Amino acid sequence: MIKPHGSDTLNPLYVADDAKRAELLKEAEGLPKLLVCSQAAANAVMMGSGYFNPLTGFMSLADALGVCENMKTTDGLFFPTPIVNVVPDVSAIGNAKRIALLDPNVDGNPVVAIQDVVSVDEATDAQMAGMTTQAYGTDDAAHPGVAAFNGTGKFFIAGPIQVLNYSYFATDFPGTFKTAMEIRDMIAKNGWNKIAAFQTRNPMHRAHEELVRICMDREGCDGAVIHMLLGKLKKGDIPADVRDAAIRKMVELYFPANTCEITGYGFDMLYSGPREAVLHALFRQNMGCTHLIVGRDHAGVGDYYGAFEAQEIFHTDMVKGNLEINIFEADHTAWSNVVGEVIMMREAPEGHKKEDFVFLSGTKVREMLGAGKALPPEFARPEVAEILMKYYQSQA
């Protein structure tokens, strides 16, 4: 199986030993408490799950600056985005060398992790501006990732962590949330050697379904892991439980048995386009996949990124040679009335016109489903559309 990033074996930060975990929870009662932001809590879960291997904790300001500038920490580790614990005020922790991090996403704010405090540094306005532009490609405050990054403060608390739970992801999505270790075990149990990973924060329509098949066929994959984002999204995105139900129905009815697994991970979307695509590749390597499907405007939002910037970044000197996972570069995919099947647009036969494809905008899809109108079967499987229709009608 493909090796994790940065080490020979996966080193998750979750404290799996029950007695040790209970001991740490007891210790946390007497430690200074810090309520972290949603993204920091999700990052702790990602480190606990092994997805951010080989990180041992939150990056320092110096590491974050290096990662934003050239995707390297101060000790030379390749990492595409800063993984940080940033807060607006550190007065509550004083000079403590060990603190308890509280989860903002669970009632009662339980301790999600204990952190050793190695350094606390305040970023300047210029440093925040530089990191924002480098990591997100824009400083527009309307960009949801930019708003989140700049809305949590300027104090960077660095140091290793011990993760004590998986936040709400394990309890709210018990059949879907999987750690990187669990996915590696699943791949081994299935006997798969080549594995395609498909990232999604949306339900999967016919085009997405076929894209997974195209990748598996062309790359000779034994199986596919549909890996769904379970964390915080932007306003208007479909809730994870609805997406989960729709995708499970699609796989149940339209994929052969033992060729496709449905899983999810706990992470707050960055919407940082190219940078996030590289992060997606890194943690799919950590979970054992050999291929990641990167499509049009992967991990983007609005018009901030070019259609294929998320593919182009893998060919830059900054990224090439730093990951072992392969990238399957996909074009926009849709049903062709000429060919009579879903194809990638760049592979359309000569003379094929745009109007020969079945396209529906997101707005049109929402309008149709909200009004109880069936989507064209060339666009969406009827069983999937029915699940989505019930959701949109419940929101009316």
pLDDT of residue 146: 97
DSSP 169: H
* Residue among 164, 161, 131, 7 at smallest CA distance from 61: 131
- pLDDT at position 353 is 92
Find out whether 200 and 263 touch, Cβ atoms under 8 Å: no
- Decide which of 3.10.400.10, 2.60.120.10, 3.90.1150.10, 3.40.50.720 is the CATH code for 18-167: 3.10.400.10
pLDDT of residue 237: 77
Domain ranges in the chain with CATH number 3.40.50.620: 171-395
Token output for 328: 């399957």
H helical segments located in 54-102: 61-70
**Edge-to-edge strands of the sheet including 341-344?**
341-344, 333-336, 357-358
The residue to which tokens 């493909």 are assigned:
2
Measured CA to CA in angstroms, residue 305 lies from 159, 184, 312, 346 at distances of: 33, 32, 11, 20
Phi and psi at 58, nearest 5°, equal -80, 140
Residue 221's SS3 state is coil
pLDDT of residue 361: 81
The phi and psi torsions of 357 (rounded to 5 degrees) equal -95, 150
Rounded distance, CA 10 to CA 55, Å? 11
Q: pLDDT value at position 385?
A: 94
Enzyme catalytic residues: 201-202
Residue among 334, 325, 41, 360 at smallest CA distance from 199: 325
H helix or E strand, kind and range, residue 182: helix 180-190
Q: What are the CB-based long-range contacts (under 8 Å, 24+) for 236-245?
A: 237/201, 237/202, 238/202, 238/203, 238/388, 238/391, 239/391, 240/172, 240/173, 240/176, 240/264, 241/172, 241/173, 242/203, 242/387, 242/388, 242/391, 243/200, 243/201, 243/202, 243/203, 244/173, 244/176, 245/387
pLDDT at 362: 78
d(CA 354, CA 213): 23
pTM of the model: 0.95
Contacts for 134 with CB less than 8 Å, ≥ 6 apart: 68, 69
* H or E, element range at 225: strand 223-229
pLDDT in tens, the chain (396 residues): 899 999 999 999 999 999 999 999 999 999 999 999 999 999 999 999 999 999 999 999 999 999 999 999 999 999 999 999 999 999 999 999 999 999 999 999 999 999 999 999 999 999 999 999 999 999 999 999 999 999 999 999 999 999 999 999 999 999 999 999 999 999 999 999 999 999 998 889 999 999 999 999 999 999 999 999 998 777 777 888 899 999 999 999 999 999 999 999 999 999 999 999 999 999 999 999 999 999 999 999 999 999 999 999 999 999 999 999 999 999 999 999 999 999 999 999 999 999 999 988 877 888 898 899 999 999 999 999 999 999 999 987
**Is domain 171-395 given the CATH code 3.40.50.620 in the classification?**
yes
Instruction: CATH 3.10.400.10 in the chain: give the residue spans.
Output: 18-167
C-beta of residue 326 within 8 angstroms of C-beta of residue 290: yes
